[in-house]
């Protein structure tokens, strides 16, 4: 290790690195702003240099040097291979079955990978009005598979969503198929504590890997339903020097450009 490199890492860094590793090289990825964009761009800078990043506003093959503030950030268009109309992104690329992975964040998620980004509380008189759907419902519905990244707590991992903005596995089992939705739906939930994957048959998310130093009790305490664990639970590999150096450099460039790291909540 270089003299300037610190092997210590935060839970946020562990989450971002673990999510980035899930993105296969060469995949066509429809990216959400925030934590998904950070993880997807880290993948592009490390393990998956040939990943094709697509954003809702029309950039295809975006290679931003700093994390975008929004889908309308000029950095995306300036670094893309091409820019097409938003309608083409959805109709030709997404609904046409050309998106390998949808990478999404969430305000809340339930045990079947359904997402809420609309309201907390009653819809007509909410406690909190969230940013809304954007393109997430279409991404969740039509991408070949979906990755979800968010910090884990009782507020974010809830037993029942106040509003289903984007469908994951619906009510579990083959409900997604019954709804006529293509693709596998969510295949992984990556948090600052663990990685969850859908259980075969039920499609309920169960813990398959704990991040280093995280206990089962911590996961249970930060989940709003009776979370279950796989028969064999692994330990997520700690971030290595290459991953941490690339991530920290990306965050430093973003902070210098925008005054923030991007993707933080």
What amino acid positions are annotated as catalytic residues? Answer: 56
Q: Give the CA distances from residue 202 to residues 142, 170, 173, in Å, rounded to whole numbers and listed in that order.
A: 21, 11, 4
Question: Token pair for residue 183?
Answer: 């693709």
Residues contacting 6, CB < 8 A, separation 6+? 244
Q: Is 220 left (phi over 0), alpha (psi -120 to 50) or beta?
A: alpha
Question: Token pair for residue 211?
Answer: 């991040």
CB 132 within 8 A of CB 118: yes
Question: Token pair for residue 47?
Answer: 């393990």
* Closest among 161, 164, 150, 152 to 223, alpha carbons compared: 152
């Amino acid at each position: 290790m270089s003299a300037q490199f610190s092997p210590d890492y935060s839970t946020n860094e562990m989450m971002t690195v673990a999510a980035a590793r899930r993105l296969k090289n060469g995949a066509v990825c429809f990216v959400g702003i925030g934590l998904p964009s950070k993880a997807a761009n880290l993948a592009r800078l490390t393990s998956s240099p040939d990943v094709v990043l697509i954003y809702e506003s029309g950039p295809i093959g975006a290679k931003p040097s700093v994390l975008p503030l929004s889908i309308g950030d000029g950095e995306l268009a300036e670094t893309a291979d091409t820019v097409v109309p938003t309608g083409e992104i959805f109709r030709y690329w997404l609904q046409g079955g050309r998106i390998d992975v949808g990478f999404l964040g969430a305000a809340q998620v339930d045990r079947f990978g359904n997402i809420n980004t609309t309201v907390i509380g009653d819809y007509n008189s909410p406690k909190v009005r969230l940013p809304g759907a954007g393109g997430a419902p279409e991404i969740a519905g039509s991408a070949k598979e979906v990755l979800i990244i968010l910090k884990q707590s009782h507020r974010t991992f809830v037993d029942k969503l106040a509003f289903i903005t984007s469908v994951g596995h619906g009510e579990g089992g083959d409900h997604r198929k019954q709804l006529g939705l293509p693709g596998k739906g969510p295949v992984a939930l990556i948090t600052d504590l663990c990685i969850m994957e859908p259980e075969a048959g039920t499609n309920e998310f169960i813990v398959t890997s704990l991040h280093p130093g995280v206990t089962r009790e911590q996961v249970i305490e930060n989940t709003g339903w009776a979370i279950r664990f796989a028969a064999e639970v692994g330990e997520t590999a700690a971030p290595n020097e290459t991953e941490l150096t690339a991530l920290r450099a990306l965050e430093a460039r973003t902070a210098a450009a925008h005054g923030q790291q991007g993707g933080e909540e």
